[in-house]
Chains A and B, each alone.
Chain A
């Protein structure tokens, strides 16, 4: 699986937008970009995924660069409950793949009240 690079941690204020970057310069044409988050003492939770076009759902937006070598997860209005580790993952399957998802260390998002 192609590798992703994320900042170790980011800090933001409550009720402000948060932009979480992810670099994936070796992404292949068939790789989907997945985002999961993990709240303390819980398993990871699906956030969003996309292939080429920007995607929106009730949790977040995913902005994908035109060359697909980077992407940004956007939380439009962060709350304290969004404090978590966010993982950016590539997989050739829209569903994640038969070998599972390859998690890195992710970005630890800290939300200040």
Chain B
């Protein structure tokens, strides 16, 4: 596709439920990032993939958060046993590589935990 696609666009989860958020990056983009954006704040880095390798997961807030990109294209961010503080917009971004300027972001998935 022409851009980064994220699904679902909105997700409401009951506290304790597991959720999976999907990101379809631009075809051929090597680098993929996940960000979390709380209301009124800037996006915060969660994790980074280069192809299928997860090279940095230092931003994941707890071991309930898990991300994968098994074939180096589509990525899934999974949150287990969701808590209210997990409510946020989750953004995915991709780029050709570290030396290529300009990340392309998706529109995000708004997760609300009730």
Contact A99 B42 (CB under 8 A): no
Given A99-B48, A100-B33: A42 and B107 interface contact (C-beta under 8 Å): yes
Would you call B101 and A43 a contact (CB within 8 A)? no
By the criterion CB–CB under 8 Å, are B103 and A87 in contact? no
Question: Do the beta carbons of B91 and A101 come within 8 Å of each other?
Answer: no
Main secondary structure of the interface of A (DSSP, over half): loop
Whether A98 and B56, one on each chain, are in contact in the complex, defined by CB atoms closer than 8 angstroms, is yes
How does the 8 Å CB contact mask read for A37-52 relative to B, with 1 for contact and 0 for none?
0000111111001000
Assign chain A's interface to a size class.
Answer: 20 to 34
Residues of B within 8 A of A34 (CB): 101
B36 CB, min distance to chain A CBs, angstroms: 11
Given the interface pairs A100-B35, A104-B42, the reply to whether A46 lies near B107 with Cβ below 8 Å is no
Instruction: Choose one: B42, B95, B97, B107; the contact of A106 (CB below 8 Å).
Output: B42
